A and B are shown apart, each in its own frame.
Chain A
Amino acid sequence: MLGGPGLESVVDQLISVITNDGRNIVGILKGFDQATNIILDESHERVYSTKEGVQQLVLGLYIIRGDNISIIGELDEELDASLDLSEVRAHPLKPVIH
């Protein structure tokens, strides 16, 4: 994630988005604008719970409104492949409270 302060450097890369309501959506960044609205392709949601491993739900092409975005992380695919998500248990993230 080099380059300037914007998201140019992660276009066409796999990113992990955490939304203000605590959801985690992973997909390929196709576009973005000034307000951090983003277009995600081939996206899926990762649902965390304490009872079972991480569930992955297929979402497809998504637009997420910038207002609703907390974090955009560059997903290290090697690191991600080495994780056994079915063994990861955690409480879902809390929503953002302004």
Chain B
Amino acid sequence: MLFFSYFKDLVGREVTVELKNDLAIRGTLHSVDQYLNIKLENTRVVDQDKFPHMLSVRNCFIRGSVVRYVQLPPDGVDIDLLHDATRREARGG
């Protein structure tokens, strides 16, 4: 639930999503749901010459289960806040 809220705060920011098939997709975070499925707008594949498979896709839905990493904007993470929130959640509320 914590990371769901966290990602919701990042809506509208530029992120790069690296998938478990080594594809990396950059785009504007449009929305996220409870499974951490991600919707991106104005997408481009990071290595388009190697992966031309999504050349005509501008908006996409990425299934949460295939996400390996999400690269965030450097100012998109308040580490102290996230620390506190994860500790609070670990304590059970």
Residue numbers of A with Cβ under 8 A of B are: 1-2, 4-7, 10, 16, 18, 20, 22, 24, 36, 46, 48, 66-67, 69-77, 79-80, 83, 88, 90-91, 93-98
Total of A-B residue pairs, C-beta within 8 Å? 98
- Taking a contact as CB atoms under 8 Å apart, the answer to whether A80 and B61 are in contact is no
4 cross-chain pairs, A with B, having the tightest CB-CB distances, nearest first? A73-B57, A1-B59, A80-B56, A5-B33
Q: Count residues on chain B whose CB falls below 8 Å from chain A CBs.
A: 30
- Known A1-B41, A96-B20; judge A69-B55 contact (CB<8 A): no
Residue numbers of B with Cβ under 8 A of A are: 19-23, 25, 30-33, 37, 39, 41, 43, 50-63, 65-66
- Known A5-B31, A5-B39, A7-B61; judge A94-B56 contact (CB<8 A): no
Determine the chain A residues whose CB is within 8 A of the CB of B62 once the complex forms: 70-71
User: What is the interface of chain A mostly: helix, strand, loop, or mixed?
Assistant: loop
- Taking a contact as CB atoms under 8 Å apart, the answer to whether A93 and B20 are in contact is no
- Taking a contact as CB atoms under 8 Å apart, the answer to whether A72 and B56 are in contact is no
Q: Which of A20, A36, A70, A74 contacts B58 (CB 8 A)?
A: A74
Determine the chain A residues whose CB is within 8 A of the CB of B41 once the complex forms: 1
Q: Which of A4, A77, A83 contacts B31 (CB 8 A)?
A: A4
Distance (Å) between the CB of A65 and the closest chain B CB? 11
Distance (Å) between the CB of A58 and the closest chain B CB? 19
Q: Which of A6, A16, A36 contacts B54 (CB 8 A)?
A: A16
